[in-house]
Structure 1
Amino acid sequence: MTYELDAWIFSADIEGHHGFTYDFIGAPIFEGFMEATPHAGFLPQLNSGFSIRRIPSCLKALDQLRRYRSRWKRQRFFLEKFRFLRRWVSPALLQVIFDDQLTGYFTGWYFHEDMIWTHIVPVLFPFFKVAPPEVAARFSFEVNAPMLLQRQQGVLPLGCHAWAKFPAFWQSYIPAAKMLL
């Protein structure tokens, strides 16, 4: 479990909130990220601030990702130099090969590790299962908590992340949130 200091846990029922069902589960991410509107759609990634990862699957993915690096360099080189080759590569793989997060990971530059785990790794290694956003919302909220709570028929998730950024909503559930108003 990853529990950043701006997370909060509401329940001990990890299994009931699908915490052990996937290789990675965390709060859903919306279009617009932290500035998402209540009508924003889900993005295909999850947030890692309050998340659970299946360690054996992560270790396997890290090993395969390490070995994939040299192939990635070749793929990227040829797809940049010979653009006509792109028609034979799936759109999902093309997006991953040229993704800034993967480039950052492989070059030692800046990257968001949750984007690597929930967007890059599942495309490259289909064995790695990430919770769909609708299921992830039963596990954790971050942005759009009022809308997610309504979708969950008023049932809180296992926990939440970044509650201090939205104290007006969380004050009814987290006593410390009132101090931030």
Structure 2
Amino acid sequence: MKHFVDRKDVCVIIPMHKPVLSDLENISFQRIVNKFSSRKIFIICPAKVSEALAKMSSKYPNIEVKIFDDKYFGKIIRHNNLLLSLEFYTAFDSYNFLLICHLDVMVIKDELDYWIQQPYDVVGAPILEGYHNDTTGKIKPKGSNGGYSLRNIKSCIKVLSSNNLCFNRLSSLWEMEKIWYWKIFRLMRDGIIYNYNVFNLKPRINEDMFWSVIAPDKFAWFKACPPQKALRFAFDANPRALFKLSDGQPPMAIHAWWRYDKEFVLHLVDKVETGELQPNEKIAI
């Protein structure tokens, strides 16, 4: 393991809600620990699994388990609530940035020093216009996936401390999509169904859409990384198509790597690890 110093520029966050990992999750976990061995890593989890996870991670001097309320774990909507809460970001406010790294992420390399120097408050994997069944070969002009996402902590706290969070602009969601049926889907789900909780008018949009689409639209100072540039940061959903769009350049990580194209991702990682692919060198697969 590399020498570890708890620098305050960026920390890595791994959400976990169960005490035992699957074989594929364990592969992801070991890659995260290996590639970010010189950085502070926090496992965030509910109290009921904290003891088991603390024991599992005790051999790693750079890993710390941090407990959040059970209400934030087990379902996507609970995860959304956590990542849209002041409680979450203030828990890490001694750092400048945090990197959310789920257990379905394959980390290829550590380029965090580059990304934290960029003028963005949020960076995530770009989204294909046709999502994982893409036939367009194009990425959306707005929006990014939150499974592997870098965020400026102070900027997120500033947004969540604002009084202007009652609703999402429907025009932002409409402009995110190019295909008409996705426009209707986005408008209905994130604009109407998820937009309002009838009991208290609290936003319930998916957290990654909030940070990558809504927050930059509402707050001119809050900057999301342009999707074309974010290809260097991460892939999601259809890594083979995104690899072509990136002109043969591998990203820092690939989200949902076994769900969509496990064979391709493992082959790409092998090319990088064996030295067949050098930094800034293109590769054809």
Same fold (TM over 0.5): yes
Report whether the alignment pairs 1:68 with 2:164: yes
User: Hey, what's the Cα distance between the residues in 2 that align with 1:38 and 1:108?
Assistant: 35
Structure having the higher helix fraction is 1
1:144 aligns with 2:203: no
Per-residue Cα deviation, 1:96-124 (whole angstroms, up to 9, x for no partner) = 9x8234435x7457531000101111111
**SS of residue matched to 2:106:** strand
* Residue 225 (structure 2) aligns with: 131
The structure-2 alpha-carbon separation of the partners of 1:103 and 1:30, relative to structure 1 and needing over 3 Å to count, comes to farther
Structure 2 gaps, min length 5: 1-98, 176-186, 271-285
Once residues 102 and 220 of structure 2 are traced to their aligned partners in structure 1, the CA distance between those partners, rounded to angstroms, is 28
Please tell me the root mean square deviation across aligned C-alpha atoms, in Å: 3.1
> Residue 59 of structure 1 aligns with which residue?
157
* 1:99 lines up with 2:191 in the alignment: yes
Matched, 1:171 2:263: no
**CA separation in 1, counterparts of 2:157 and 2:136?**
36
**What CA distance in whole angstroms lies between the structure 2 residues aligned with 1:135 and 1:51?**
14
Q: Within 5 A, what are the aligned runs for 1:1-181?
A: 1-16=99-114, 18-21=115-118, 22-37=120-135, 39-64=137-162, 67-69=163-165, 72=167, 91-92=171-172, 99-100=191-192, 101-103=194-196, 107-108=201-202, 110-165=204-259, 166-174=261-269
Please list the CA deviations of residues 33-58 of structure 1 after superposition, one character each: whole Å capped at 9, or x if unmatched.
23222524424100010010000000
Amino acid at match of 2:158: K
Q: Give the partner amino acid of 1:99.
A: G
Same amino acid, percent of matched pairs: 29
Kindly indicate whether the alpha-carbon contact (under 8 Å) linking 2:128 and 2:137 is maintained by their aligned counterparts in 1.
no
* Residue aligned with 1:120, SS: helix
3-state SS of 1:2 partner:
strand
- Aligned partners of 1:164, 1:173: CA distance in 2, in Å? 13
- 2:241 partner letter: M
Tell me how far 1:31 sits from its aligned partner.
1.8
**AA in 2 matched with 1:168:** E
Q: Could you tell me which amino acid in structure 1 is paired with residue 264 of structure 2? A: F
Spell out, residue by residue over 1:10-66, the C-alpha distance to the aligned partner (whole angstroms, 9 max, x if none).
1112233x34421000100122323222524424100010010000000001111xx
Contact 1:19 1:25 in 2 (8 A): no
TM-score of the superposed pair, with normalisation by structure 1:
0.72
Contact residue 234 and residue 251 of structure 2 kept, 8 A: yes
TM-score (norm 2): 0.47
Question: Per the alignment, do residues 29 and 94 of structure 1 end up closer, same or farther by CA in structure 2, a change over 3 Å counting?
Answer: closer
How far apart, in 1, do the equivalents of 2:126 and 2:211 lie? 13
62 and 114 in structure 1: CA distance in 2 versus 1, 3 angstrom threshold: same
